[in-house]
Amino acid sequence: MIELTERTRRISPSRLHEILATNDARSLVDPFMGLPTHLNYLKRHGIAVHGGDLLEWFVRVGEGIVVNDQTILRDSEVAEIVEMLPGRIYPLDAFKAWEGVFFTEEQCMYLGVWLDNVRNLRSDGQTGLAILGLWRVFCYWLQKAQAPDAMPDVPPSELAWSYIRQTESWVTTNLRHNTVRASDVLTTISAQTADALFIAPPARNSFRTADARIWMWEAWWQGNPYFTIEHAYKDSLFGARSADEQSYARAIASVLSAAANYPLLILQTTDRRLAEFESLVRNARPSVEILAPYPNEVYIIAKK
Amino acid sequence: MTLFQDPDAVPRTAASRLADVLDAFGAVGDRAAGNPPGTARRKAAAAASIARAAGRPDDEARALYFAGLLHAVGAIDNAGLRRGNTLSPRLATMARWDFPADGARVCAGIAALPAEIADWVRWQAETWDGTGFPDQLRWQGIPECAQLLQLADLVARASEIDETLAIVGGLSGRTIGPEFANVFVRWFHMTGGEVEATTVPVDILKPELSQPAPVLDLLADRIDAHNNTHGRRLRIARVVDAVAERVGLAIAERDALGLATRTFGAGELGLAHAEDESFDPLARLGIAARAENATIAADLFAGNATFEHAAEVLRARAAWYDGTGQPALIHDAIPKGAQILAAAIAYDALESVHRTQIREDRTSPADRLDTAAGTQFDPAVARALLDVTKAHA
């Protein structure tokens, strides 16, 4: 059974929005965006948002709930995702490597079917919505493997149906241009301009302890059950190159340096890591304040 | 007018008064959110009870009481619920997702509350699987007390508590974390699903920061904003205060009148139109609607010691001096405060219409009100009001 690690950091978009409103910021770039539900929140509240990440499935979800202003999945289209379609040949053993380790035979079969169906969707927006909905099914299964008696059995297609349908409610427009990109942090920072830069940098070597629910879903999207997150991060700024303390600090400093043109910088971290980030931010910006509502939710807010 | 002058024989502490004002805030929040009456109190008691069963520290359980009580305060003046909003149904739904965050801001502004309550309110509707609102937090990112508050919500809304057990089981792993489903089962078996009567944990409020009057004013302003009647209670309060002074209303009655002036609009929450948009304030046709709104507002404060007399004023404000209103009280049987409030509300409505509409009949609001003296209004109150408004003009 796989261990589901406790999250160490909480991203609260409503709080982030309060910080942006206080500082009169109406656009934001997040180069470490992760699952972009927080960008969806900010978009709904009129902020122009631009996100970037190295994991492709995050970017795809961003195309569904950040970039996409109007495309949804209708009932017939959801039906074409959640079940095997007659006449189509599916790679039913695509995820056989996970069978008996993480998932049942039936679940692995569905993972193969869903991947094939999602890859056949007509638009990026729909693809993103389907990936998000199915990811929640995936998380449910992993959670149920931990607590089999504490959670009800729900047929895979029924669970997938309800989660995909639910994604529709997040689709909206803010009449602004919103983007996501699959790119390294420095590329995202330099490719956009905005009132604020939000960074929630990964902990040093965090790719080695990443949540299975995150990297395994990238493996699913890549159609490769042997995919590891080291692979995605290997040549990146926060990959193996910044494994030691000094090179990690240099990597953060380079991000702060690249962010020099952003009027507002919001760095989110934890109480434990506040000291190391605060000194780096104070070196880069003259005006710095700390908002620390919780040990796992600390904001370093820096202005030019 | 200075509120809470403790004219009665048993003075109440500021913290105790604040607890009552928070209770009123919670009841009005329920009304704005469309919850059944009493939901906030049930949720408050259930939250404290479940927290104890979950082994949370006693301070936290007591703080959770107030988080439960204030769970829906963000619904008052929520953009998706506000009267006259022009949002499409879809956008209104999205706006309603913000009410926990709005509620958190209200709680954060009440200095006497423990600080953590604001974020429990903010995250009470987050779900384990990340599909909740407003923040779509997931898994352990949701504070435990916020998850307990969600369990309390299920208890508060349950028509049959036994069914809640099955509902929680069905939601485990999706809306509710599996661990918290287990907490609920434990609580259910310990208590039989009965929420014990809870003493309001007043001592958790910081006494030195307990100022009920500003919190009441905040509630009143939010009611006005929700009803799209901005500034109405301030205009009416100015008239009411001056008239109360002129007719020599006793301090206790003035206190009750002050509370009623700030909260009468709660009876209009959730209605498509303000009562005086539908009926002329002097028309008999509007009596039933006014009486219904008055009763709704009065019922919201049932069992609230601080609002006991204010509720009487609220309930009687649709009475007519000649006994033909609702309730059918006559002359001095109508609390003087209710007579003043009724006349002031009517005058404000007449003034608003006079300001904004071009009428063929240019009879002034004062003249129109004067015609209702002796029938709808106490002549002494009407005279005092006309004197006061003439002096203001």
The full DSSP string for A203-224 is PTTGGGS--HHHHHHHHHHHT-
Q: How many CA within 13 A on the CB side of residue B241?
A: 13
Portion of chain B with pLDDT greater than 90, in percent: 87
Instruction: Find the range with the poorest average confidence among A58-72, A234-248, B149-163, B196-210.
Output: A234-248
If DSSP codes are grouped into helix, strand and coil, which group holds residue B255?
helix
Which residue is closest to B108 within chain A, CA to CA?
A293
Rounded-to-integer distance, Cα A274 and Cα B304, Å: 46
Q: What is the pLDDT of residue A235?
A: 74
Q: Give burial (CB, 10 Å; 0-12/13-18/19+) of B387.
A: middle
Nearest Cα residue to A142 out of A206, A224, A214: A214
Task: Say what angle helices B251-263 and B336-356 make with each other, to 10 degrees.
Answer: 40
Q: What is the mean pLDDT of residues B286-298?
A: 96
How confident is the model at residue B3, as a pLDDT? 78
Kind and range of the H or E element at A293? strand A287-294
Amino acid in position B335 = P
Quick check: bond before B327 cis, omega within 30?
Answer: yes
- Contact in structure between B340 and B247 (CB atoms under 8 Å): yes
Count of CB atoms situated within 10 Å of the CB of A243: 13
pLDDT at B214: 96
Contact A55, A221 (CB under 8 A): no
Candidate from A14, A37, A147 with C-beta closest to B130: A37
Interface probe with B: pick from A5, A12, A164, most Cβ of B within 10 Å: A12
Measured CA to CA, the distance from residue B153 to residue B164 in angstroms comes to 11
Average pLDDT over residues B265-281: 88
Q: Which of B78, B97, B149 is CA-nearest to residue B120?
A: B149
Contact B141 A10 (CB under 8 A): yes
pLDDT, residue A206, reads 72
Q: Is residue B87 scored above 90 in pLDDT?
A: yes
Pairing mode of beta strands A27-30, A287-294: unpaired
* Predicted pLDDT of residue B331: 96
DSSP state of B236: H
Task: Report the C-alpha gap between B313 and B324 in whole angstroms.
Answer: 17
Q: Which residue ranges of chain A lie beneath pLDDT 70?
A: 1, 6-8, 207, 240
Q: Which amino acid is at B393?
A: A
Average pLDDT over residues B204-230: 96
Can you name the residues that pair with A297 across neighbouring β-strands?
Answer: A294
Q: What is the DSSP string of B9-53?
A: SS---HHHHHHHHHHHHHHHHHHHHTPPTTHHHHHHHHHHHHHHH
pLDDT of B9 above 50: no
The separation between the first and the last C-alpha atoms of chain A, rounded to the nearest angstrom, is 48
Cβ neighbour number for residue A264 with a 10 Å cutoff: 22
> Rounded to a whole number, what is the distance in Å from the CA of B104 to chain A's nearest CA?
10
Count the neighbouring beta carbons within 10 Å of the beta carbon of residue A206: 14
Amino acid at A100: G
Q: Contacts for A95-101 with beta carbons within 8 Å, 24 or more apart?
A: A95/A220, A95/A225, A96/A225, A97/A225, A97/A226, A98/A225, A101/A2
Q: Kindly determine whether residue B119 and residue A294, on different chains, have CB atoms separated by under 8 Å.
A: yes
Whole-complex ipTM = 0.94
Say whether pLDDT at B386 is over 90: yes
Write out the two tokens for B91.
Answer: 């956008």
Q: How close A3 comes to chain B (CA, Å)? A: 14
CA B257, B263, B267, B273 dihedral sign is: positive
The arithmetic mean of pLDDT across residues B377-384, rounded, is 97
The stretch B312-327 carries a mean pLDDT of 97
Pairing of strands A196-199, A264-269: parallel
Half-sphere exposure of A120 (CA within 13 A, CB side): 17
> Phi, psi (5° rounding) for residue A266?
-120, 115
Q: How many other C-beta atoms can be found within 10 angstroms of the C-beta atom of residue A260?
A: 12
Chain A contacts of B88, Cβ < 8 Å?
none
Strand residue runs (E) in chain B: none
Phi, psi (deg, nearest 5) at residue A192? -125, 160
Element at A299 (helix H, strand E): strand A297-303
- Does B27 have pLDDT greater than 50? yes
Q: Measured between alpha carbons, how far is B75 from B28 in angstroms, rounded to an integer? A: 9
Whether the predicted pLDDT of B100 surpasses 80: yes
The rounded percent of chain B whose pLDDT value lies above 70 is: 95
B159-170: average pLDDT? 92
Residues of B with CB under 8 A from a CB of A: 90-91, 93-94, 98, 101, 104-105, 119, 122-123, 129-131, 134-141, 143, 169-170, 172-174, 178-179, 181-182
